[in-house]
Amino acid sequence: MTNQPSALSRIKSGLNGKTLAAYAAIILVVHLLWNTMFIYPLKILTVFFHELSHALAAILTGGKVIEIGLVQEQGGHCVTAGGNGFLIASAGYLGSMLCGGILLLAAAKSNRDKQIMAALGVVLVAVSLIWIRPFLDFGFIFCMILGGAMIASGKFISGKANDWILRAVGLTSCLYATLDVKSDTIDRDLEQSDAGRLAEITGMPSFFWGYLWMTLAVIGTIGFIVMAAETKKKA
């Protein structure tokens, strides 16, 4: 009887060492530049993903979005009416991690990096026009400029460059989502955080939700990195 390779062995054999090393290098660079102007736009983009996730959860559970706002201090808000409060509050941190993971996977598994970049830019511009308020404030201007830059990148910059920009954006969003959970719900226990809202809804303390979300975010981030490092050929 032949020994079948374990699931872990199959995963290891399917990973691309060079790709993993590239991801490690990106994470190291992001860490070293974390508090600089170079990473700042990526942090604000992750906040955008966070608030957009609240908005989508509201719509998908029968509610509506009143407005989305972003501020320079790397914060934001999403005002909704109706919908499932539990799912809306839960969607922010995990949603921004999921957005980052999807971008990372899309860049790793597809050759349509230019189209993906342009589509992301269109999403930023569309959300700005529909929901981000007030007009001509920081959040609106930031998303319009970044969205326009992404559309231009998709049109004029090479697919290879767009590929690695998307991977960097995806990795940063996953990392920032995890750190944001820790900062807002464990280190500071903010009453107005998503975890604070869930504590009001469920009666469970906010730190419980913080640890749960952080655990899920870490597992999700590792999972996305592993899937994005597999040697499977792009389609």
- Residue 10's pLDDT band, with cuts at 50, 70 and 90, is very low
Query: pLDDT, tens digit, for every residue of 115-128?
Result: 999 999 999 999 99
Whole-number percent of the chain with pLDDT over 70: 90
Worst-scoring range by mean pLDDT, 38-47, 85-94, 190-199, 215-224? 190-199
Q: Per the structure block, which two tokens stand in for 177?
A: 């989502």
* 90 falls within a domain: yes
Worst-scoring range by mean pLDDT, 5-9, 16-20, 188-192? 5-9
* 105 falls within a domain: yes
pLDDT at 146 over 80: yes
* 69 falls within a domain: yes
Q: Which among 58, 71, 94 has a CA at the least distance from the CA of 180?
A: 94
Query: pLDDT, tens digit, for every residue of 224-234?
Result: 999 999 866 55
Average pLDDT over residues 172-179: 89
Average pLDDT over residues 55-75: 96
* 13 falls within a domain: no
* 1 falls within a domain: no
Q: Which among 175, 196, 211, 203 has a CA at the least distance from the CA of 43?
A: 175
Task: Report whether 107 contacts 167 (CB < 8 A).
Answer: yes
Q: Per the structure block, which two tokens stand in for 133?
A: 């308020």
Give dist(CA 160, CA 61) in Å, integer: 38
Domain count along the chain:
1
**DSSP character at residue 125:** H
* 134 falls within a domain: yes
pLDDT at 183 over 60: yes
Angle at alpha carbon of residue 131, lines to 128 and 132, rounded to 5°: 55
Task: Report whether 51 contacts 182 (CB < 8 A).
Answer: no
* 6 falls within a domain: no
Task: Report whether 177 contacts 97 (CB < 8 A).
Answer: yes
* 153 falls within a domain: yes
Q: Which residue did the predictor score with more confidence, 142 or 5? A: 142
- Residue 210's pLDDT band, with cuts at 50, 70 and 90, is confident
pLDDT at 46 over 60: yes
Residue with tokens 């974390």: 34
Which range of residues forms the domain containing residue 97? 19-228
Q: SS3 for 119? A: helix
